[in-house]
Chains A and B, each alone.
Chain A
Amino acid sequence: MTPLFDVHRDLGATFTDFAGRRMPLRYQGELAEHHAVRRAAGLFDLSHMGELEVTGADAGRFLDHALVGRLSTLPVGRARYTMLCHDTGGVLDDLVVYRLAERRYLVVANAANTTVVHVMLREHADGFGVDVRDASADWALIAVQGPAAAAMLDPGPLPYYGIRAFAVAGRDVLLARTGYTGEDGFEVYCRPADAVAVWRSLLDRGPTPAGLACRDTLRLEAGMALYGHELSVRVTPLQAGLERVVAFDKRDFVGAAALRRQRATGGFATLVGLVTGTRRAPRAGYPVLAEGTTVGAVTSGALSPTLGHPVAMAYVAAGWSAPGTRLTVDVRGTGVDAHVVTLPFYSSQR
């Protein structure tokens, strides 16, 4: 249960079960909430996210081994988007890792994957001077996202993907300039006991309470992958178009051999953006066809509230991923014309 359940209920939220927690899906309506984030700011409860703390003298070296990115050179007070992969190169979770101190990292995992990440990190920790602890119960997470967020938080100098100690409503929090909406914005990590006071203080500054429904359309427009849709153990970071997060110059890391092999071989299906002309949106699982043959499948899709037309992400076979490629999506039995576009569909003017 989120520590903010009563607050959401009093705001008239509709709830959804998310990784075993009742989380707000929407308050008044997801379209209005979506537009509020694009135009001003939205306030999100993300307390379902999993937090793991990695501490010890070898913490940086250990994360370089366990994850695909290079975390040992991450400066204190900075964050990096990275992934935990299986030996096969398949993605077990996508993560945001913050370096809180020289020997202390905060690893933020998707709610449903927290246990897997915890177990795998512990397994990979063998031989490293490091402690891996599931600290999810110690943290609530509240996000303020949108172009007006900085004025509401008045964070002082805090770069994109930076994190620092801060106070909200007199409570000690960690303030991070990260998010999952494609807008400038902040994520506030606080103690669960402080969550109500922090939420109220932030709400008083004017953001619109926003639920997980609009978070999904916001991240989709921003071309951001969602685990369980674009990411799974069946695809690699290379296939997801996220080769940039893999530090191939590291000597060795979990999944390196498989990822190097795939990079050398090529010819794999990749994630693309699709745009269609009708108002019927491609949805997850719908087949993608070229010349009458199935060449892929949609992973996420919706009518884009910002752009006014459907947008979708899909995996398509090699040879069909170039921007401008004409494809067909089977929308419940009807072939709908689509074409490949460069991701993201939307980027803010920050």
Chain B
Amino acid sequence: MIPEDLRYTAEHEWLAPADAGVFKVGITDFAQEALGDIVFVQLPEVGAKVQAGDSFGEVESTKSVSEIYAPVSGEVVAVNSALDGAAEVINADPYGAGWLVELKADDPAAVDALLDAAAYQELTTNS
């Protein structure tokens, strides 16, 4: 399941435009499936500045831990506090209620350089 209208990273994150220059970020269905049942998520604070490619959180399943990487540089303007104690929502609805943070991108155009649905589809098919 790869929604057409989102942008993706090779680290299996998705971005969706939320507001002017603001993007909602989550992990893909492929990622949640690979992780298995997610039991804990650690997210940055609102106001945190992140650099593209840097780790800014963790998603932990019973089996393993995965870092979450900032897909673009910017500022965290919202975090999904509903995941606190209910991280399994990421498994159930990775593109909806399981979103992780909202990022205000330093350069909104940087998002255009990320993978589109077709490119991400190809990436997951070949991995």
Q: Using Cβ atoms and an 8 Å threshold, which residues of chain B touch A14? A: 33, 36
Q: Which of B32-79 contact A (CB under 8 A)?
A: 33, 36-37, 39-40, 42, 58, 60, 62-65
CA A83 – CA B113 in complex, angstroms? Answer: 56
- Residue A30 CB within 8 A of the other chain: yes
- Residue B28 CB within 8 A of the other chain: no
Q: Would you call A30 and B62 a contact (CB within 8 A)?
A: yes
User: Considering only CB atoms, which chain A residue lies closest to B40 in the complex?
Assistant: A279
Q: Using Cβ atoms and an 8 Å threshold, which residues of chain A touch B65? A: 283, 332
Task: Give the contact-size bracket for chain B.
Answer: 10 to 19
Q: Would you call B36 and A213 a contact (CB within 8 A)?
A: yes
Of B33, B58, B63, which is within 8 A of A213 by CB?
B63
Q: Would you call B39 and A26 a contact (CB within 8 A)?
A: no
Contacts from A to B (Cβ < 8 Å): 14, 25-26, 29-32, 34, 213-214, 216-217, 279-281, 283, 302-303, 305, 332
- Residue B9 CB within 8 A of the other chain: no
* Interface-central residue, B33, B36, B37, by most chain A CB under 10 Å: B37
CA A281 – CA B65 in complex, angstroms? Answer: 9
Q: Would you call B40 and A29 a contact (CB within 8 A)?
A: no
* Interface-central residue, B36, B60, B62, B88, by most chain A CB under 10 Å: B62
Q: Within the complex, what minimum Cβ distance (angstroms) separates B116 from chain A?
A: 27
Residue pairs across A and B with Cβ atoms less than 8 A apart, 21 shown, are A14-B33, A25-B36, A29-B91, A30-B36, A30-B37, A30-B63, A31-B39, A31-B62, A213-B36, A213-B62, A214-B62, A217-B62, A279-B39, A279-B40, A279-B60, A280-B58, A281-B60, A302-B63, A303-B40, A305-B62, A332-B58
Q: Using Cβ atoms and an 8 Å threshold, which residues of chain A touch B58? A: 280, 332
**With contacts A30-B63, A213-B63 known, what are 6 further pairs, Cβ within 8 A?**
A25-B36, A29-B37, A30-B62, A217-B62, A279-B60, A332-B58
CA A29 – CA B63 in complex, angstroms? Answer: 12
CA A32 – CA B91 in complex, angstroms? Answer: 13
Q: Would you call A302 and B40 a contact (CB within 8 A)?
A: no
Q: Using Cβ atoms and an 8 Å threshold, which residues of chain B touch A32? A: 37
CA A214 – CA B39 in complex, angstroms? Answer: 14
Given A14-B33, A279-B39 in contact, is the A303-B60 Cβ separation under 8 Å? yes
Q: Which of B62-110 contact A (CB under 8 A)?
A: 62-65, 88, 91
Q: Within the complex, what minimum Cβ distance (angstroms) separates B55 from chain A?
A: 10
Of B60, B62, B63, which is within 8 A of A280 by CB?
B60
